Chains A and B, each alone.
Chain A
Amino acid sequence: MQNKQIITATLMAIGLSAALSVATAEDQKPETEKCAGIVKAGMNDCGANGHSCAGKAAKDSDPAEWITLPKGTCEKIAGGTVVKE
Chain B
Amino acid sequence: MPLLELQQSLISALFQRDQLAEAAKLVKAQGSLSSEQRVGIYRNSTHGILLDYLESLYPVCLDLVGTEFFGRTAHSFMDQAPPTSPFLADYGAGFVTYLAEHPALQDMLWIVEVAKLEWARHAAWHTVNQVASDFAQLEGLSAAQQAELRFQLPASAHLISSSTPIHSIWLAHQEEYPDKPRLEEIDLQEAQQVLIFREQRRLHQTTLSADDWAFLNTLQQQATMSELAEQFAEQLPWLFSVAMQEGWIYSFTTD
Q: Does B177 contact A (CB under 8 A)?
A: no
Q: Does B179 contact A (CB under 8 A)?
A: no
Residues of B within 8 A of A3 (CB): 147, 226, 229-230
CA distance A6 to B232 in the complex (A): 9
Interface residue tally for chain B (C-beta within 8 Å):
22
B138 touches A20 (CB 8 A): no
B136 touches A10 (CB 8 A): no
B147 touches A17 (CB 8 A): no
A11 touches B244 (CB 8 A): no
B241 touches A16 (CB 8 A): yes
Q: Mark B218-239, 1 if CB is under 8 A from A, else 0.
A: 0000000110111001101110
A: contact size bracket: 10 to 19
Residues of B within 8 A of A14 (CB): 135, 138, 240-241, 244
Residues of B within 8 A of A78 (CB): none
A15 touches B135 (CB 8 A): yes
- Per DSSP, chain A at the interface is helix
B146 touches A7 (CB 8 A): yes
Choose from A7, A9, A17 the contact partner of B226 (Cβ within 8 Å).
Answer: A7
Of the A-B pairs whose beta carbons lie under 8 Å apart in the complex, a sample of 16, sorted by A's number, is: A1-B234, A3-B230, A4-B143, A6-B236, A7-B146, A7-B225, A7-B229, A10-B225, A10-B236, A10-B240, A12-B237, A13-B237, A14-B241, A15-B135, A16-B241, A20-B245
Name A's B-contacting residues (CB within 8 A): 1, 3-4, 6-7, 9-21
